[in-house]
Amino acid sequence: MALYGQSRHEFSIHGGGGLSTLKYDMSTGKFNNGFGGLFGVGYSYFFTDNFGLHTGIEASLYNSKATISSLGDRNMIYDRDDVLFEYRNTVSNYSEKQHAYFLNIPLQFQLQTSGVNRFYGLLGAKIGIPLSGRYNSTGDFTNSGYYEYEDFLYDNFPVMGFGTFRDRKEDGSFGMKAVFMASAEAGMKWALNNGMSLYTGVYFDYGLNDIISDVRTKRFIVYNTQRPTEFFNNTVMTSQYNASSSPTARQDKSFTEKTIPMAVGIKLRLAFGKGRTAESFDPIEPEPFIPDTVIIEKTMRDTVTIVVDAPKPEPLPDNVLQIMKEPIANFPLNVSKLNTEHYEVLDRKIQMMEAYPAIKILINEGHGCEIGNDFVNQVIGLKRAEAARQYMVGKGIDEERIYTLTKGKTEHISPNDTEANRRKNRRVEFKVITEGPITY
């Protein structure tokens, strides 16, 4: 079903936030989710009133945290004199925060219900391009060196980096690769004015592949051979430690096996371009009832002349004239669909036209409100008039007895200062035709 005066294109800006984390399982220690958000621009192309494709680009932030209450590690390494020794470490009260920035490109199907304010849903995928991965940590470190040839443990030799270092901080980076995410969003689409809409919804993104590009065989605590006092630690997402409890055995184990981005939050999206949101359709019309060329021809004329080939009618009783002139009003903005109250008014007119075969009527709509330009008001006015005509014809009234026109927003009966008054102005009026030609 086509939409007249509607655009297939919709541009938008959006922002959101909530749980936005780098999710992983730890072999030791504790993982904690983090919070983050996103901001971006979007574009939607609508194939029909209810279905389209959505894409765009957005910057997203993911945060997470790892904590370790206590951990022991050891590995063999050479000192600055090329002497092999066992580097022993004890870590306590360790806390590490990770931050990842991605540039996400969504490709999603968009479904939405009909009407002015609509339910909508997005389903598809996102490709995440990594921008930056950082971590910062703090903890208490106790380092020592065991020299087997001396059978001696150096545990208080600061110049060699041996001793206890409390509240030691580290700031570093980690490598990432592109990620593919399953993505979904759902909520309400609120029609504003002049083709603008506000989306309010919740979104969910879930990474499908590991984002860590660094190998996970790095030592957690790294001895600096040239500057022993400047030891440092890698992030738990790329590190391993000796998990063996035996003082002589080795069992190197990674802290993590896989890291994926995940996000659940609230999103607001302001859309520009009508995006097929403004119109409602009369359910009795299976196809558009007026071609575009006819709409333009009718609505852009200054004067329309209707020639009515009718005999002199018999005088009509006042009560009949009153029923025939009763208007239908209170249309929502940009809506041509008739409601139950409108049908009741039209049914009374149908009874009178069945009782008085000479009656012909001119259905005139267009006394709209100030929202929207002249052409849009004329088009929606003609659609409302045609909706009334189609209903009456469908009830058995000869279509040659009914004519339609529109006047756009040229004649008001109420000031356009409130929505209630604007609804009064959005009305359809009826005029009994006595004989032709009639210029209106």
- pLDDT tens digits for range 85-106: 999 999 999 999 999 999 999 9
Amino acid occupying residue 409:
K
Enter the tokens of residue 426.
């959005």
Which residues contact residue 139 at a Cβ distance below 8 angstroms, ignoring those fewer than 6 apart?
A: 68, 91, 92, 93, 94, 95, 167, 168, 233
Structure tokens that stand for 63 in this block: 């945060």
- Rounded average pLDDT over 414-423: 65
For residue 388, how many other CB atoms are within 10 A of its CB?
25
Note whether residue 339 is domain-resident: yes
Q: Are 151 and 167 in contact (CB under 8 A)?
A: no
* pTM as predicted: 0.63
More confident residue, 26 or 373: 26
Evaluate whether 246 touches 300 at the Cβ level (below 8 Å): no
More confident residue, 182 or 402: 182
Q: How many domains does the chain have?
A: 2
Query: Starting at the edge strand that comes first in sequence, how are the strands of the sheet with 239-242 ordered?
Result: 218-219, 239-242, 252-254
Beta-ladder partners of 406: 365
One domain for residues 50 and 124: yes
Q: Are residues 89 and 120 in the same domain?
A: yes
- Give the range of the structural domain holding residue 322, as residue numbers without chain letter: 292-439
* pLDDT at residue 369, rounded to an integer: 53
| Cβ atoms within 10 Å, residue 30 | 10
Average pLDDT over residues 259-268: 97
Tokens representing 70 are 């206590």
Domain assignment present for residue 186? The answer is yes
pLDDT band at 408 (very low <50, low <70, confident <90, very high): low
CA distance 146 to 152: 6
303 and 156 assigned to the same domain: no
Given a contact cutoff of 8 angstroms between Cβ atoms, the answer to whether 60 and 20 are in contact is yes
What pLDDT was estimated at residue 438? 44
Q: How does pLDDT run across 201-233, given as a tens digit for each residue?
A: 999 999 999 999 999 999 999 999 999 999 999
Same-domain check for residues 301 and 172: no
Neighbours of 301 (CB within 10 A): 10
Mean pLDDT, residues 374-394: 83
List 128's β-bridge partners, or say none: 104, 179
- 3-17, 36-50, 62-76, 298-312: the lowest-pLDDT one: 298-312
pLDDT at 161: 93
Q: 244, 272, 300 — which closes off a domain? A: 272
User: Angle at Cα 266 formed by Cα 264 and Cα 271, nearest 5°?
Assistant: 125
Task: Decide if 280 is inside a domain.
Answer: no
pLDDT in the model for residue 368: 52
> Are 135 and 99 spatial neighbours (Cβ–Cβ below 8 Å)?
yes
Residue 266 pLDDT: 98
Q: Is residue 135 part of a domain?
A: yes
As a whole number, mean pLDDT of residues 57-83 equals 95
3-state DSSP percent of the chain in helix, strand and coil, to 5: 15, 50, 35
Domain with residue 64: its CATH number is 2.40.160.20
| Rg of the Cα atoms in the chain | 37
The chain-wide mean pLDDT, for the chain, equals 84
Per-residue pLDDT for 283 more than 50? Answer: no
